[in-house]
Amino acid sequence: MKLNNLIMKILLIILGVLASAFVAIQIFALNSQRNIETYPYTVIKKYKTFETRAYEATLFTSVKLSESDFKKASSQGFSILAGYIFGGNDRNEKIAMTSPVSMSLEDSITMMFMVPKKLHKDILPRPNQAEVEFKKEPAKTVAALQFSGWTNNKKIKKYKQQLQTALSKEGIPHTNRFYFFGYNAPYEVFNRKNEIIVELY
């Protein structure tokens, strides 16, 4: 009986420590999000389920992946680009993380991290991995539909279709160039924010 009580106490202590660590990580994640530089835009018009935006011309680090599966591509792409900004370059220099992570929704996915505005291509360190490239995205007008929670292929297909239907209903033509924007780190559980974006004419 005493042994069972001891085991139960130990288990409760372990669960308490794990719960405290989980809460601490989530608080850290929420605070970190407030300090992350984001892809700048202005809202043009809000509709019932989406909004139109104007984005500024912006420099990105990018990697083109052979994968079309969202889960595999996101893991592979994040590993390569995060490796570069966390010091995988010729100067072992760390570059600040930005938001959102962008992924083109095509047969082969391209993942992109925005370069902080204070940095320019000519002063950036050279990537150790040849797959990492710098890409200047021009100013553009887009439609954006937001959704929450964790993302998978099924959700992306669902919300992409919803955005297409909504644009058709409003008579707004688009280029059919769709992107997924993810705003949270993998370890964040609460307040997860995602968007399906499409470029407009």
Angle formed by the axes of helices 153-170 and 70-85, nearest 10°: 100
- pLDDT per residue as tens digits for the range 146-191: 999 999 999 999 999 999 999 999 999 999 999 999 998 777 877 8
Residue 26 pLDDT grade (very low, low, confident, very high; cuts 50, 70, 90): very low
Write out the two tokens for 114: 């925005």
- The answer to whether residues 111 and 77 touch, using CB atoms and an 8 Å cutoff, is yes
The fold of 38-200 is Multidrug-efflux Transporter 1 Regulator Bmrr; Chain A (3.20.80)
Q: What is the average pLDDT across 49-67?
A: 96
pLDDT at 19: 58
Full 3-state SS string of 111-123: EEEECCCCCCHHH
Is the predicted pLDDT of residue 20 greater than 80, yes or no?
no
**Higher confidence at residue 126 or residue 2?**
126
Is the predicted pLDDT of residue 65 greater than 80, yes or no?
yes
Q: What is the average pLDDT across 134-150?
A: 96
pLDDT at 2: 62
